[in-house]
Amino acid sequence: EKKVLGASSKDLTPSYDWFQTDSLITIVIYTKQKDMNAELVILDCEDKRLRGEIIVDDYSYLLEVDLDHAIQKDMAVNIAEKVGKVEIILKKKDNVHWKILGQPLENHNTFMKRTDRGLFYRKCKLVSKTEVTHDTKLFCLLLPESTHLHIPTGQHVYLKQIIAGTEVVKPYTPVLPFLPLDFQEPYCHDSAYIYLMIKIYSCGLFTQALDHLQIGDYISVSSPEGSFKKSQVQTSEDLFLLAAGTGFTPMVKLLNFALTEVSCLRTVKLIFFNRTEDDILWRNQLEQLALKDERFEVQFILSQPIRDWMGKQGMISSSLLSEFVKRSRKDSKVLICICGPTPFTEQGIQYLKDLGYSQEEVHPFTA
Ligand code: FAD
Ligand code: NAD
C-alpha cells in the first residue's frame, strides 16, 4: 500500500518537466525546497529504466520511467541549490526525436514518506580489499557509471547478498579511504567509490560471505538511511565521539566534517573502546590527526589488554565518562555521539543521562 500525500500538501510536492535537443534530454525537477544539495538527489539508470529520487526532509519524490529511447551511460546532474531546481541531463544514444520522455513505471511522480518508499539497490563492483587490522578490512566498491549517489555523514547503507539461496541484508556505515590530515581544503573524495570498514567474524553469516567476494565481483548496495543531521554539529562547541569496535565507522566522516567544515568547534574528542591494542582501527592515523590538529584528542580504552598497556582500561562506565566528557566552558554547547554494540550504546546513553546531559545533546547511531 502506497501513501501519497493529499491535496492539502500539494503545494510542497515537487514537479518535473523535460525538453530535448538533437543530442540531449534535459529533465528539470522543481523540488520546492530552498536548500537542495547533491546528497538529496539519487539517480540510477539501468538499461532504459531511469529512477530519480529527491529527498525532501522525511519525504521522497520519485521519477521513474522506462525511457522512450536508449541513452549513453554518463549523465550530468546540475543543482541550483538556492532555488531548489535539479537538472538531469541525459545524452541520447541516437539523434532521434523523442515523442515522450518514457512510459511511467509503478511509482512514477509520487511523493511519500521515505520510510514507505522501500530501499532501492544497485549493483556495485568490488575494486579493492585492504587489511585494517587482523580481522577488519576496508572494502572499496565502485558505483555504476549511471548512478549518482552521495552518502551523507552519519548515514548507513544496506548490503544485500544471496547466501545459500536466501537473501540476506545487513547495514554498514561508509567511511573515507583515510582520515583528513591535510586541512588546506575540505577533503572530498571521488563519490563514485564507497569505502566500507568491515569486521569479519569467524562465525558471521554475512561477513564470511563478504570476505569470500573476489575483486571484480558485484554486490547490491542500497540508498542511504539514517537520522543524523549535520546541523547538530554545526552549532556545537564541543564534540565527543564515543565509539566501540566498528562503532568507529560513523565517526570517520563525522570527524572529517567537524574538523574541516565546522568553525565554531573548540574541542573534538574521540573516546575509542576496544578489546585489545590489535583491535584499534586506524590508530596511527588517529594519533597523527591529534598531532596535526590541536582541537582533536583521542583516548583509547581497552577492555581486555593483553600486553603491557599503559593507557586506560575498562568498559564504558559513569566514572570514565565523567573523566573524559567535560564541557570546555561552563555552558559550552556539546554534542555527544555514541556507537558500538547495543549494550555499549544503551549503557552509554543511561550514564550520560545520569551525568546530566540532555537527550538533544546525545546522538546514538543505531539501525
Ligand atoms: P552474525 O552472523 O550476525 O554474527 C556476528 C558475530 O557475532 C558472530 O561471531 C556471532 O557468533 C556473534 N553474535 C551474533 N549475534 C550475537 C548476539 N546477539 N550476542 C553476541 N554475539 C552475537 N559492522 C561493520 O563491521 N562495519 C560497519 O560499518 C557497520 N555498520 C553498521 C551500521 C549499523 C546501522 C548497524 C546496525 C550495524 C553495523 N555493523 C557494521 C554491523 C553489521 O551490520 C553486522 O551486524 C556485522 O557485520 C555482523 O554480521 P554477520 O552476519 O557477519 O554476523
Ligand atoms: P567488540 O566486541 O570488539 O567490542 C568493542 C568494545 O565494546 C569492547 O572493548 C567494550 O569496551 C565494548 N563492549 C562490548 N560489549 C559490551 C557490552 N556488552 N557492554 C558494554 N560494552 C561492551 O566490538 P565489535 O565486534 O567491533 O562490534 C561493534 C558493534 O558496533 C557491532 O555490534 C555493530 O553492530 C555495531 N555498529 C553499529 C553501528 C550503527 O548502529 N550505526 C555502526 C557500526 C557498528
Is the pLDDT reported for residue 6 higher than 70?
no
Q: Does 20 reside within a domain?
A: yes
Give, for 123, the enclosing helix (H) or strand (E): strand 121-131
256 & 149 share domain? no
Share above pLDDT 90 across residues of the chain, in percent, rounded to a whole number: 90
Q: 90 and 106: one domain?
A: yes
| 278-317 residue pLDDT tens | 999 999 999 999 999 999 999 999 999 987 899 999 999 9
Q: Are residues 345 and 309 in the same domain?
A: yes
2 pLDDT above the threshold of 90: no
Arithmetic mean of pLDDT, 56-81:
95
**Closest Cα to atom 31 of ligand 1:** 172
According to the model, what pLDDT value does residue 35 have? 87
Q: What is the ipTM of this complex?
A: 0.96
Q: For residue 190, what pLDDT is reported?
A: 78
| Shared domain check, 125 and 113 | no
* Candidate of 138, 167, 173 to mutate for ligand 1, largest count of ligand atoms within 8 Å of Cβ: 173
206 part of a folded domain: yes
pLDDT tens by residue, 121-180: 999 999 999 999 999 999 999 999 999 999 999 999 999 999 999 999 999 999 999 998
| Residue 2: inside a domain | no
Do 156 and 254 lie in a common domain? Answer: no
* Alpha carbons within 13 A on the beta-carbon side of 299: 17
Instruction: Supply 322's cell numbers.
Output: 565523567
Decide whether any atom of ligand 2 lies within 6 Å of the 155 Cβ.
no
Look at residue 10 in the predicted model and tell me its pLDDT.
Answer: 55
CA-nearest residue for atom 22, ligand 2, is 344
- What is the strand order of the sheet 24-30 is part of? 15-20, 24-30, 85-91, 76-80
Q: Are residues 240 and 360 in the same domain?
A: yes
pLDDT at 278: 97
Indicate whether 18 and 100 sit together in one domain.
yes
Nearest bound ligand to the CA of residue 136: 1
For residues 346 and 114, what is the distance between their CA atoms, to the nearest angstrom? 26
Ligand 1 neighbourhood includes 310 CB (under 6 angstroms): no
Whether residues 244 and 328 fall in one domain = yes
- 94, 117, 140 - which closes a domain: 117
- Are residues 112 and 128 part of one domain? no
Q: Is residue 1 part of a domain?
A: no
96 and 180 in a common domain: no
- Residues 330-353, mean pLDDT to the nearest whole number: 97
Q: What is the CATH number of the domain that holds 146?
A: 2.40.30.10
Quick one: 157 and 203 in the same domain? yes
CATH classification of the domain holding 309:
3.40.50.80
Q: What is the mean pLDDT of the chain?
A: 94
Closest CA to 329 of 243, 275, 271, 266: 266
Per-residue pLDDT, averaged over 203-224, amounts to 98
Kindly give the distance from the C-alpha atom of residue 180 to the centroid of ligand 2, in angstroms, as a whole number: 24
pLDDT greater than 50 at residue 7: no
Assess if residue 13 is contained within a domain. Answer: yes
The pLDDT, as a whole number, for residue 1 is: 43
Could you identify the atom of ligand 2 that is nearest to the CA of residue 342? 32
For 164, the domain range is 121-222
Binding site membership of 173 for ligand 1 (Cβ less than 6 Å)? yes
Nearest-atom index, ligand 2, CA of 199 = 26
Q: Answer whether residue 95 is part of any domain.
A: yes
The pLDDT value given to residue 298 = 98
CATH number at residue 52: 2.60.40.790
**Burial (Cβ within 10 Å: 0-12, 13-18, ≥19) of residue 48:** middle
Classify residue 137: in a domain, yes or no.
yes
The tens digit of pLDDT for each residue in 89-120 reads 999 999 999 999 999 999 999 999 999 999 99
Domain-ending residue, one of 63, 93, 117:
117
**Closest ligand by atom to 340 CA:** 2
pLDDT of residue 34: 87
Q: Please determine, for residue 340, whether its predicted confidence score (pLDDT) is greater than 70.
A: yes
What is the C-alpha to C-alpha distance for residues 233 and 245, in angstroms, rounded to an integer?
23
The model's pLDDT over 246-289, given as tens digits with 9 standing for 90+, comes to 999 999 999 999 999 999 999 999 999 999 999 999 999 999 99
Percent of the chain with pLDDT over 70: 95
Q: Of the candidates 62, 85, 117, which is a domain's last residue?
A: 117
277 and 356 share one domain: yes
Total domains present in the chain: 3
